[in-house]
Amino acid sequence: MESYDTLVEALNDLKQKGYTYDFNLAQDCLVCHSPNLRLQPDDFEIVETYRFEGMSNPDDNSILYAIASKDGLKGTLVNAYGTYADEISDEMVEKLKVHRG
Question: pLDDT by residue (tens digit) across 65-99?
Answer: 999 999 999 999 998 765 445 577 788 878 877 55
Q: How many residues does the chain have?
A: 101
Give the Cα separation of 67 and 83 in Å (integer).
Answer: 24
Question: What is the per-residue pLDDT for 85?
Answer: 54
Kindly tell me the sign of the dihedral angle through the C-alpha atoms of 39, 61, 48, 9: positive
Range of the domain at 61: 7-97
Mean pLDDT of the chain: 85
- Structural contact between residues 68 and 48, judged by C-beta atoms closer than 8 angstroms: no
**Does 1 fall in a domain?**
no
**Does 57 fall in a domain?**
yes
One-letter identity of residue 30: L
pLDDT tens digits, residue range 25-52? 888 999 999 889 999 999 999 999 998 8
| Phi, then psi, of 76 in degrees rounded to 5 | -125, 155
